[in-house]
Amino acid sequence: MNDQSMTPEERAANLKGMGCSRKRVEDVRFTQGKGNYVDDIKMDGMLFGDFVRSPYAHARVVSVNKEAALALPGVVAVLTAEDLAPLGLHWMPTLAGDKQMVLADGKVLFQGQEVAYVVAEDRYIAADAVDLVEVEYEELPVLTDPFEALKSDVVLREDLEGQTEGAHGPRKHHNHIFTWEVGDKDGTEAVLGGAEVVAEEMVYYHRTHPCPLETCGCVASMDKVTGKLTLYGTFQAPHAIRTVVSLISGLAEHNIRVISPDIGGGFGNKVGAYPGYVCSVVASIVTGKPVKWIEDRMENLMSTAFARDYWMHGKIAATKEGKITGLWCHTTADHGGFDACADPTKFPAGFMNICTGSYDIPTAYLAVDGVYTNKAPGGVAYRCSFRVTEAAYFIERMIEVLAIKLNMDAAELRRINFIRADQFPYQSALGWEYDSGDYHTAWDKALKAVGYEDLRKEQAQRVEDFKAGKTRKLLGIGLTHFTEIVGAGPVKNCDILGLGMFDSCEIRIHPTGSAIARLGTISQGQGHATTFAQIIASEIGLPADDITLEEGDTDTAPYGLGTYGSRSTPVAGAATAMAARKIRAKAQMIAAYLLEVHDDDVEWDVDRFAVKGAPERFKTMKEIAFAAYNQAIPGLEPGLEAVSYYDPPNMTYPFGAYICVMEIDVDTGEWEIRQFYALDDCGTRINPMIIEGQVHGGVTEALAIAMGQEIAYDEMGNVKTGTLMDFFIPTAWETPNYTTDHTVTPSPHHPIGAKGVGESPNVGGVPAFSNAVHDAFRPFGLVQSHMPHDHWRIWKIANGLGLHG
Amino acid sequence: MSKMHVKLNVNGREVEGLAEPRMLLIHFLRENLRITGPHIGCETSHCGACTVDIDGKSVKSCTVFVAQANGAEVTTVEGLVNDDGSLGVIQEMFREHHGLQCGFCTPGMITRAHRLLQENPTPTEEEVRFGMAGNLCRCTGYQNIVKAIMASADMLNAQKEAAE
Q: Rounded CA gap, A510 and A164, in Å?
A: 58
Do A560 and A634 fall into the same domain? yes
Do A560 and A520 fall into the same domain? yes
Q: Given a cut of 50, is residue A1 above it in pLDDT?
A: no
Catalytic residue among A279, A384, A494, A682: A384
Tell me, yes or no, if A123 is annotated catalytic: no
CATH number of residue A439's parent domain? 3.30.365.10
| Neighboring chain A residues of B35 at a CB cutoff of 8 Å | 33
If one counts the domains in chain A, the total is 3
> Does A184 reside within a domain?
no
Give per-residue pLDDT as tens, A149-168.
999 999 999 999 999 999 99
A322: left (phi over 0), alpha (psi -120 to 50) or beta: left
Last residue of a domain, one of A615, A646, A677: A646
Q: B78 CA to chain A: closest CA distance, Å?
A: 5
DSSP tag of A282:
H
Segments of A428-502 assigned E as strands: 433-434, 473-483, 495-496, 499-500
ipTM for this prediction: 0.98
| Neighboring chain B residues of A700 at a CB cutoff of 8 Å | 140-142
> Does A93 reside within a domain?
yes
Q: Rounded CA gap, A311 and A329, in Å?
A: 10
| Domain range enclosing A396 | 306-488+651-800
Q: A734 CA to chain B: closest CA distance, Å?
A: 8
Q: Which of residues 516-535 of A touch B (CB under 8 A)?
A: 524-527
Give per-residue pLDDT as tens, A355-375.
999 999 999 999 999 999 999
CB contact under 8 A, B104 and A35: yes
Q: pTM value?
A: 0.97
Q: Rounded CA gap, A547 and A766, in Å?
A: 37
Question: What are the per-10-residue average pLDDT scores of chain B (164 residues)?
Answer: 93 96 97 97 96 98 97 98 96 98 98 98 98 98 98 97 92
CB contact under 8 A, A213 and B102: yes
CATH number of residue B60's parent domain? 3.10.20.30
> Does B128 reside within a domain?
yes
Does A238 reach chain B within 8 Å, measured CB to CB? no
Give per-residue pLDDT as tens, B15-48.
999 999 999 999 999 999 999 999 999 999 999 9
DSSP tag of A634:
T
Q: Which of residues 71-130 of A touch B (CB under 8 A)?
A: 123-124
Last residue of a domain, one of A646, A674, A708: A646
> Does B164 reside within a domain?
no
> Does B27 reside within a domain?
yes
pLDDT the model gives residue A476: 98
Do A411 and A292 fall into the same domain? no
Do B108 and B42 fall into the same domain? no
CB contact under 8 A, A31 and B91: yes
Tell me how far CA of residue A739 lies from CA of A678, A681, A721, in angstroms: 6, 14, 32
| Neighboring chain B residues of A32 at a CB cutoff of 8 Å | 37, 77-78, 80-81, 87, 91
Tell me, yes or no, if A660 is annotated catalytic: no
| Domain range enclosing B68 | 4-77
Q: Rounded CA gap, B87 and B80, in Å?
A: 8
Closest by Cα among A211, A240, A239, A231 to A94: A240
pLDDT the model gives residue A5: 80
Q: A630 CA to chain B: closest CA distance, Å?
A: 38
CATH number of residue A247's parent domain? 3.90.1170.50
Tell me, yes or no, if A383 is annotated catalytic: yes
- Angle among Cα B111, B115, B120 to the nearest 5 degrees reads 145
Question: What is the pLDDT confidence band of residue A3, given thresholds at 50, 70 and 90?
Answer: low
Last residue of a domain, one of A646, A661, A685: A646
Say how many CA atoms lie within 13 Å of A317 toward its Cβ.
20
Q: Rounded CA gap, B134 and B112, in Å?
A: 9
Which residue of chain B has the CA closest to A722?
Answer: B42
Q: Given a cut of 50, is residue A471 above it in pLDDT?
A: yes
Give per-residue pLDDT as tens, A665-688.
999 999 999 999 999 999 999 999
